[in-house]
Structure 1
Amino acid sequence: MRQGNVFSQWVDRDPNGDIFLRLPLELVHDWEDAKRVIWVDNRDGSYTLTPAKEMANSYGEALRETRKIVVNRCYGGFSLSHEGMLAYARHKGLTLYPRQGKFSLVKYWTYWLVPEPIEVPDNWATLPLEERQRINAEFSAARISDTDLDRDDPALIAAVEELGTAANGEFAQLEIVEIPDDVEWEICEYDGGEWVAEKHRTW
């Protein structure tokens, strides 16, 4: 057993010689909260393991956790390809029911979360306000769009990392930006091209 900066851990090897960690049950939850683990070879057949958020570098400075964010780097605007949406749903654990439609010469996808699409009545505009609001809420809850996604959603990050350029929508060039985790951030854009900025006051 080796004492790390935070916990004591057992390090063992499987029959193939690969290293793995034996965690006491009471520490499993704490280690699930750690985004990254630092392995230090003690050069005596043992290792010291510590969650990265508790480590300090050789200069004594605390290591900073980072956050990944997906932005669009070209004119046009953020969008995911059909393959990108399917990959996002798979990583998110969602079941989608995609339906392809066509408006004039343009084909598009609608991603339903229910087997049967929600139909909007032809007389929607003449219905009472409360009824229109109910239909709108039901319609919105039954479908998902790429514009609804949180840009730091781990499922979105995983989909873009997995597919690369194949995740790009028709007029998009997606890129993953990594920033310090403790920064208040927002996405700014000009003509669809985006960048991540730290939030601040303007007058």
Structure 2
Amino acid sequence: MKNVLLINSSLNGENGNSHQLSEQFIAELTQKTDITVTRRDVAENSLPHLTQAEMGAWMTEPSQRSDEQNKLAAISDELVTELQNNKLIVMGVPMYNFGIPSTLKAWIDRVARAGITFKYTETGPVGLVENTKVVILAARGGMYLGTDMDTQTKYLKDFFTFLGINDVDFIYAEGLNMPGGDDSKNAASKEISDYVSAL
């Protein structure tokens, strides 16, 4: 049995293109193999922006934390545990104003924990999350892949590499708000089926 973490971030919920593609991925993977899925929708259950108080709670020894600090630290602790316990991460990622949703950035800010998911060494940071694969279902209204305006791809690859995750794949549905958008989504849907079949 494989543990899978599904992260969705569309403001449109189940009507969002990225959400639908990620759910298709999970449904087809479930048909193929025995998996346990942990679901995290950062749009529906949004995380607040990271504050100094919350980050300070992480840096305080557990035995020295106040009740409020324990509550703040528990938010990140739960997210980090999910990350560590699931060796396949499937993410539905829409593009908003040339970037990732701010709610997904709030998740990223809480799973990047020095000494837990990465560490600093004399030669630079080293990721501590091992043997993990990430598949990102990226949905965009326009056409951005391969251009300087595609800030998502490099950012997400860089982030996961920073944590030690080098196995990151993307499946794109682009031009969804343009003529032929349905064709692009159908092509992404077929690519998902082919991808899952090859796993």
**TM-score where L is the length of structure 1:** 0.22
Q: Which has the larger radius of gyration?
A: 1
**TM-score where L is the length of structure 2:** 0.22
Which structure features the higher share of helix residues? 2
Which structure features the higher share of strand residues? 1
